[in-house]
Amino acid sequence: MVKRYANLALVYSIIAMIFGVFYREFTKFSHFTGKTNLSVMHTHYFLLGMFFFLMLMLTEKVFSFSDKSTGKVLTVYQVGLNITGLGFLMRGLAQVWGQELSRGLDASISGIAGIGHILTGVCMVLFLLKIRKKAV
């Protein structure tokens, strides 16, 4: 699992950098100077992707907390992270393009990002419970 966590950290660092460049270049190309949710995708993928998996890698080396259910939690975590990213992307693109969102679409995008945050949050707690069980 240590190598898997290291590989995931690498993948998410690359994704974070891609979104950082996309944000900068897309807003520049679109002559957009306001605030947009695209700006937070870079940091979300660095922190919730790269940094999170680096911490899991180090924690796994110390406590060997992973078991047969860890893969499922890992999958749900990644699904949640990427759903969150999708919500940020949809809202950010609408902001840059200056599209007025209907109340329903606005609520749907918020709901998508919220579901992603819930999934990542629940999985973080599950990982912390696994770690605590091995640490004590």
Q: How confident is the model at residue 54 (pLDDT cuts 50, 70, 90)?
A: very high
What letter does residue 72 receive in the DSSP assignment?
Answer: H
Max CA pair span of the chain: 54
In this prediction the pTM is 0.92
pLDDT of residue 136: 79
Whether 12 shows a pLDDT value over 90: the answer reads: yes
The per-residue pLDDT of the chain, averaged, comes to 95
